[in-house]
Amino acid sequence: MSYLALSDEELLRLLSDDVPCGDLTTETSGIGQQTARLEFRARQDMVVCAIEEAARLFTLSGATSDVHVCSGQSVSQSTLLLEAQGTAQSLHRVWKTAQVLVEWASGISTSAAAIVQAAAPVSVACTRKNVPGTKALSVKAVRAGGATMHRLGLSESLLLFAEHRLFLNETQTATVARYKRAEPERKLVVEVANVSEAMLWAQAGADVLQVEKFTTEAVAECRAALDLAKLQTKLAAAGGVNAVNAVDYVRAGADFLVTSAPYTAPPRDIQVNFFLA
């Protein structure tokens, strides 16, 4: 997964945020024009993400870089991820911004990969509850970890919440039929709060039931009821899903899992070493 999730403009904005008026320490020391090399190494096992963005940051600062892995690759402790060569000024300008970017994105991708592994062969989808302003890189990290996106935003998917249904005055069947007439290419996902409500919407023709914060027992009950009624509605287990309980939801009969857990995962640790050129 070697594409850049962030444009040059966005990457330069990150640098400008950290170095708005020059690097005071490096400039005061007088070392800026000395040449050097640095390495990024994994300090722990991880699924790497944003290494391409890190390399581009060095290039934009006038250094050169060599990427040794790509986003989505699982690596072990001490693996060499990236090398950069340039003046001390260019390397110090980028160092911390690039390091934090890889650490943060790799935290998301590593967490997503752990849930995907625990849930296999059932698919894992991540919500749009990423930190505001980080969507593009969050999506890259989710996909680098082997998960997919539940929805990118409000514009491309149909997810009917109780907060929507509060304003409707029609039967479930009428609602489903109206949505399918209006958006025939879209699947209709309906979030439900209990098994009874789930069955009403399944019988009305909903494509997917998002069973929000159901216990695994409730998911199993819902699965059994759908199978007994010979309904093909998919079950998406959501709310509190993580790497520890993912397998329990799969065993209970969920067709896929929906999670926000990767977005709050701790960053992975990158070791940065400088060398005189």
Instruction: Say what the pLDDT of residue 46 is.
Output: 98
On the question of pLDDT at 53 being above 90, the answer is: yes
261: confidence class by pLDDT, cuts 50, 70, 90? very high
Q: Per-residue pLDDT tens for 78-116? A: 999 999 999 999 999 999 999 999 999 999 999 999 999
On the question of pLDDT at 183 being above 90, the answer is: yes
Where residue 32 falls (left for φ over 0; alpha for ψ -120 to 50; beta otherwise) is alpha
The CATH architecture of the domain made up of 8-112+265-276 is: Alpha-Beta Complex (3.90)
Q: How far is CA 126 from the centre of its chain?
A: 6
Domain definitions of the chain by residue range: 8-112+265-276, 116-264
Q: Do 8-112+265-276 and 116-264 have matching folds?
A: no
Residues sharing a CB contact under 8 Å with residue 126, sequence separation 6 or more, in sequence order = 112, 142, 147, 148, 149, 150, 258, 259, 260, 262, 263
CATH superfamily of this structure's domain 116-264 = Aldolase class I (3.20.20.70)
Cis peptide before 184 (omega within 30 of 0): no
pTM tops 0.85: yes
